[in-house]
């Protein structure tokens, strides 16, 4: 039986109708499932996290290679089907709940086809965790934003935050026909490898705050994009302009600045705010 027919059969058996609001699109391409497992280079020492385990097709293949699999699924009916399907595997733990809210045991690798709607929160959640690598299927546009270069259309806050925390690489394209029900867009398989930041900043919290602000106005000159940020400190507009024009790259646009250059800008902001005793 093909994976597509198996999915349809299981959904009928458990009376499950795929929910659009939960992004329930099941990967039904055997080759891509096997490739995801291959990319992760699993062995018996690995504990793998899978987010959005669905009907357990990827989970089974992970369980055959890894020492332990933690399969997280939020949908009640899918959890029931998942637990029954995975009964033969004593190295699989099924967790029912929202990945952002439930307690997750320690893991060292991630292999998942998460719903599109949690791509961003899941990505930032992972960037704050300790693990070796993640193999994830993301919406094609989201994957491009992870790996974009300065000056490109997809370059932005997500790119800079990712670059600071991890190496991101697009491994392969996945056509929408590989899923059922078929989504409206294609996907990409992405590898994430956490790393130490490739450059240092005086204040990480300030760095991410500034990145968030300037990329809401990434087509303006940096000087103008920073004015809303300085207003948080009740700095008069005239003084804000003075501070901004004392910073490096103030006439360039955020979309054209490399992460390292943004780091230099933030260090300049930190120096100014610290001298004014507005931050410590």
pLDDT for 21 equals 79
Three-state secondary-structure class, residue 190 = strand
Instruction: State the pTM of this model.
Output: 0.94
Where exactly does CATH 1.10.8.100 map onto the chain? Answer: 204-275
Which phi and psi angles does 174 have, rounded to 5°?
-130, 115
- Classify domain 3-194 by CATH number: 3.40.50.150
Per DSSP (E only), the strands in 25-65 are 26-27, 47-51
Measured CA distances, 113 to 137, 204, 271 (Å): 5, 30, 43
The 10s digit of each residue's pLDDT in 229-264 is 998 888 888 888 899 999 999 999 999 999 999 999
Helix (H) or strand (E) holding 213: helix 204-214
- Token pair listed for 8: 């349809």
pLDDT at 161 over 70: yes
Per-residue pLDDT at 167: 98
What mean pLDDT is predicted for residues 175-184?
Answer: 95
224's enclosing H/E stretch is: helix 222-231
SS3 255: helix
Q: What is the pLDDT of residue 223?
A: 95
Tally of CB atoms within 10 A around 1: 8
DSSP string, 140-158: HHHHHHHS--TTSTT-SHH
Condensed to tens digits (0 to 9), the pLDDT of residues 49-94 reads 999 999 999 999 999 999 999 999 999 999 999 999 999 999 999 9
pLDDT in tens, 92-126: 999 999 999 999 999 999 999 999 999 999 999 99
Superfamily per CATH, domain 204-275: rRNA adenine dimethylase, C-terminal domain (1.10.8.100)
Residues of the chain with CATH 3.40.50.150: 3-194
């Amino acid at each position: 039986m093909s994976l597509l027919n198996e999915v349809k059969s299981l959904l009928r058996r458990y009376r499950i109708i795929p929910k659009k609001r939960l992004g329930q699109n099941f990967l039904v391409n055997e080759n891509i499932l096997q490739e995801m497992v291959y990319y992760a280079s699993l062995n018996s020492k690995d504990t793998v996290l899978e987010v959005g385990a669905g009907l357990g097709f990827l989970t089974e293949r992970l369980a055959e290679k890894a020492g332990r699999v933690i399969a997280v699924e939020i949908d009640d009916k899918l959890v029931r089907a998942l637990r029954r399907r995975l009964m033969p595997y004593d190295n699989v733990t099924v967790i029912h709940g929202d990945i952002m809210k439930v307690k997750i045991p320690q893991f060292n690798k991630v292999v998942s086809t998460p719903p599109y709607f949690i791509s961003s929160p899941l990505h930032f959640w992972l960037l704050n965790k300790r693990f070796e690598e993640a193999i994830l299927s993301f919406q094609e546009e989201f994957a491009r934003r992870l790996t974009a270069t300065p000056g490109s259309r997809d370059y932005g806050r997500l790119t800079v935050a990712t670059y600071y925390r991890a190496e991101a690489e697009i491994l392969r394209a996945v056509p929408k026909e590989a899923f059922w029900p078929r989504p409206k867009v294609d996907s990409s398989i992405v590898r994430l490898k956490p790393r130490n930041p490739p450059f240092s900043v005086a204040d990480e919290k300030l760095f991410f705050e500034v990145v968030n602000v300037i990329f809401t106005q990434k087509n303006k000159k940096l000087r103008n994009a920073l004015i809303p940020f300085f207003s948080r400190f009740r700095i008069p507009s005239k003084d804000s302009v003075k501070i901004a024009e004392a910073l490096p790259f103030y006439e360039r646009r955020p979309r054209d600045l490399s992460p390292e250059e943004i780091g230099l800008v933030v260090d300049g902001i930190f120096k100014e705010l610290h001298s004014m005793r507005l931050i410590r």
